[in-house]
Structure 1
Amino acid sequence: MMPLFAAATSLMFALPAAAEVDIQQIETPMGFKAWLVEEPSIPFTSLEIRFKGGTSLDAPGKRGATNLMVGLLEEGAGAYDAQGFAAESEALAASFGYDAGPDSVSVSARFLTENRDEAAELLRQSLIEPSFSETAIERVRQQVISGIRSDAKDPDSIASATFDKAVFGDHPYATDQSGTVESVKALTRDDIVDAWQGAMAKDRVYIAATGDISPDELSALIDNLLGDLPETGAAMPEGYDVETTAGTTVVPFDTPQSVAIFGHKGMKRDDPDFFAAYVMNTILGGGGFEARLMSEVREKRGLTYGVYSYLVPMDHAELYLGRVASSNDRIGEAIEVIRDEWAKMAENGATEAELEQAKTYLTGAYPLRFDGNGPIARILVGMQMDGLTPDYIATRNDNIEAVTLADVKRVAGELLKPDALRFVVVGQPEGVESDDAG
């Protein structure tokens, strides 16, 4: 008998301190591609589906439509209202999760082998036949508005929103994906349907599964689940070239502790120097208590409980960001120390001891991510979206080990831009004032 799936290839990798990851690549009769790690020892399956685009696809004047739409996917579908959908999910012991981000809409599912077909059909209805009833729309709308109002009183959210607005101009990244109170209030059911059709289409879907399911079974499930999606979705936004200037923007806020977001342009995920940048950032601010920023700002001076930096390679722009919080009377000193360490790394790079410590940390922590069907499925679908191949799991630590001290110094000199490091501070920082560039 001919197999249901059109093609399958398999790659197996053994990870230290983790189970083998045998990745099978399948293509269904309808042309969907998926990665599968088959594990029949436990009778359930984790399924991850991602749609590239996310909340950045919101139409002009409809900010928050995609976010609201995703919040409604389990609030009634097919023959079920919201309560009926929840009751049926519980009866099947199935769990579904729906989330929206700036670059993707994600769907997570977990279901038992014994009622896989029934659970998949329920999931299909939520993706293909969502009700978007007016009652559900109003209920979820109020939940979203409540969240927006809460964020307006949260220093971290204010700092992020201010930074994004200053950096991204008129790009969708400039505004919060939830929208504003006014924009969410104005959204109609037609707007939500348009957002659903624009965000969830065949031309932007990525799929991964782990657990008790064969390639044939997964192929049939995917075609049934996604076969009725629109062929194409909304156009992607244009890329955006981040430009910042060194300085500080202060947002007054009545709180005893100031929060600061800082950063500038980052690096694309597919840049040949990404691994060197990743190692360099681990040394500077991404390696926990061993990182320079934590050592200098917290351990030596006691200015904060935590400070960190991280690379943010988004689909349409790249950032290199960090965060710190400190008392109003000490945040100014914390900012100066961060600026100083940023400049030192840019000029001098790292030491051999720092490099080896970072490599040990990164290579040792990686296998711990593969600690269950759900995490593995999420890793696999993320790899696909980043344009990685299945052998990345086997070669990732080798790429870390291959980074040299010269690589770190070179990339630090190119990536770190002390003359473009912008801080946004929310609080009542003493001795810290906004400059004209903010």
Structure 2
Amino acid sequence: MIRYAAAIVLTLAALPARAEVDIQEVTSDSGITAWLVEEHSIPFTALELRFRGGTSLDAPGQRGATNLMAGLLEEGAGDLDARDFTRAVEELAATFNYDAYDDTFTVSAKFLTENRDEAVDLLRSSLVEPTFSDAAVERVRAQVLSIIRSNLTDPDEIAGEAFSKQVYGDHPYATAGEGTLESVAGLTRDDLVAAWQNALVKDRLFIGVVGDITADELKTLLDDLLSDLPQNGPALPDAADLNFDGGTHVVEFDTPQSVALFGQPGMSQDDPDFFAAYLLNTIVGGGGFESVLMQEVREKRGLTYGAYSYLLDKDGANIWMGSVSSANDRVAEAIEVIRAEWARIAEEGVTEEQLEAAKKYMTGAYPLRFDGNGPIANIIAGMQIQGMPIDYAATRNDKVNAVTLEQVNRVARELMQPDKLTFVVAGKPEGLEATSN
């Protein structure tokens, strides 16, 4: 539902890939702080705003309000209706993007130096003066409802929803941020205004800026853009009470291929052992075709096109999860193999060869993320919200390389919990002994 304006900006975004960036902390006269990377080689700037909270702030009975609100910020602001707002953005060769996730509400903007003041003024109006007109609300509501209906017949979405309900209980994470057909249909304009007021608050804001702008210019931009936002919002939800029972749960759905999600408790990114856990996950299921799960499930047995795992660090939950899809008559074997490998690695650990390959993969891939103003702004905003030091980008690979085999195998023994590895399957799996249906 969010449109992108003026493709010309995207062509200006490419910069040489680099992980060592000169980040400076900038604080405006009113006290708004941002991280800045100056890049004056092209007349273009990327701005990333991240507000902690996201769809987890939805009020009871109003699931989907924050997501629907995100789609409305470009649908009219100040004295501009949706059509006029879109035209104004396009005429400035700018792009604005608004998104709601479980823990964050994000605003991404790209604009040319020559149009900076006009672009910032237009962006400001969308943040502090959205109109939420009846016509726009109904138009975007219809788009969201269409997405929800489509998800009801998507095995991946069905598995994801069932996994969330199984693991997160009554926490907001347990239900999709898009809401349900019933909850979205019942949202009023007042609900959307409340969601907007709750989500866009300065005391939970983290900012990354990259491009053709100086520190002094950024100070003025920050105050012009953000000073009129409210300072505080409602309290964030408590941490989720996770339920990993070690079982296999099946949601019956008529499809030739079952989708299985699996998970267990994970590790916070601020844990001293996080890099060891990250390397362990790379070996187990996060390292592409060389990972253990891909080798055992795909390459040796041909049970799937892919089996993956990853560490998920949410504000209210840390989990280690993964996924695999397989034909209904083969998914039971795929799950059996994953369980067996999980238990084997927990007991035996990994090899020095596997660790060195994982380090090479992780350190080699990292600089490739820094491939333009927009991605770098996104990364440095994310670094702030995750509590990383300002020199993290420069020191990250050194920390990866410092991890020893002994650390990784100790983490494997302590973190991997085969008895809690829980599977949720959407499909019509054959020969699978389910804990519940």
Contact 1:53 1:105 in 2 (8 A): yes
For 1:111-140, what per-residue CA distance to the aligned partner results, in whole angstroms no more than 9, with x for missing partners? 000010000000000000000001100000
Match of 1:317 in 2: 317
**Contact map agreement 1:164 1:175 (CA 8 A) in 2:** yes
Question: What is the percentage of aligned positions where both structures have the same residue?
Answer: 64
Q: Counterpart in 2 of 1:384?
A: 384
> Distance between the aligned counterparts of 2:190 and 2:149, measured in 1?
25
Q: Aligned residue for 1:205? A: 205
1:166 is matched with which residue? 166
Structure 2 residue 420 is matched with structure 1 residue 420: yes
Structure 1 match to 2:187: 187
1:410-434 Cα offsets, whole Å, 9 max, x none, are 1111111100111111111110132
Q: Which residue of 2 aligns with 1:269?
A: 269
The residue number in structure 1 matching 2:9 is none
Deviations 1:385-426 (A, max 9, x none): 000011111110111011111111111111111001111111
Query: Is the contact between residue 242 and residue 264 of structure 1 (CA under 8 Å) also seen in structure 2?
Result: no
Q: Deviations over 1:235-277 (max 9, x none)?
A: 1000123231111111111111111000111111111111000
The residue correspondences of 1:207-222 to structure 2 (distance < 5 A) are 207-222=207-222
Q: Which residue of 2 aligns with 1:11?
A: none
- Give 2:29's aligned residue: 29
Aligned to 1:93: 93
Aligned partners of 2:238 and 2:17: how far apart in 1?
Answer: 42
Contact 1:43 1:112 in 2 (8 A): yes
Aligned 8 A contact 2:19 2:394 in 1: no
Distance in 1 (CA, whole Å) between partners of 2:17 and 2:194 is: 46
> Contact conserved, 2:36 with 2:210, CA < 8 A, in 1?
yes
- Cα 1:19/1:232, change in 2 over 3 Å: closer
Structure 1 distance, partners of 2:409, 2:171, is 33
1:234: Cα distance to partner? 1.6
1:288-303 matches, within 5 Å, as 288-303=288-303
Which residue matches 1:364?
A: 364
Q: Tell me which amino acid in the other structure corresponds to 1:274.
A: F
Partner of 1:12: none
- In the alignment, what sits opposite 1:351? 351
What letter is aligned with 1:351?
T
CA contact (8 A) 1:49 1:207 kept: yes
How far is 1:19 from its partner? 7.0
Determine the structure 2 residue equivalent to 1:64: 64
Specify every segment of 5 or more residues in structure 1 that has no aligned partner in the other structure, as ranges. Answer: 1-15
Code of the residue aligned with 2:120 in structure 1: it is A
Q: What is the letter of the counterpart of residue 288 of structure 2?
A: G
* 2:260 aligned with 1:253: no
Letter in 1 for 2:236: M
**1:115 correspondence with 2:115:** yes
Q: Are residues 245 and 72 of structure 1, via their aligned partners in 2, closer, same or farther at CA, if it must alter by over 3 Å? A: same
Secondary structure of the 1:220 match is helix
Query: RMSD of the TM alignment (CA)?
Result: 1.1
Residue of structure 1 in register with 2:338 after alignment: 338
Shift of residue 309, structure 1, vs aligned partner? 0.2
1:150 alignment counterpart: 150
Match of 1:13 in 2: none
Q: Would the aligned equivalents of 1:304 and 1:326 in 2 still touch at CA under 8 Å?
A: yes
Task: Please tell me whether the aligned partners of residues 242 and 318 of structure 1 are also in contact (alpha carbons under 8 angstroms).
Answer: no
Counterpart amino acid of 2:426? V
Report the CA distance between 1:17 and its aligned residue: 6.0
Q: Secondary structure at the residue paired with 1:22?
A: coil
Report the residue type matching 1:405 in the other structure.
L
2:239 is paired with a residue of what secondary structure? coil
Report deviation, 1:435.
1.1
Alpha-carbon shift at residue 18 of structure 1 (Å)? 2.4
2:259 and 2:19 mapped to 1: Cα distance? 41
| Counterpart position of 2:6 | none
Q: Which runs of 4+ in 1 moved over 2 A?
A: 16-20
Structure 2: gaps (5+ residues): 1-15
SS at match of 1:137: helix
Shift of 1:323: 0.3
| 1:243 counterpart SS class | coil
Instruction: Look up the equivalent residue of 2:71 and give its one-letter code.
Output: G
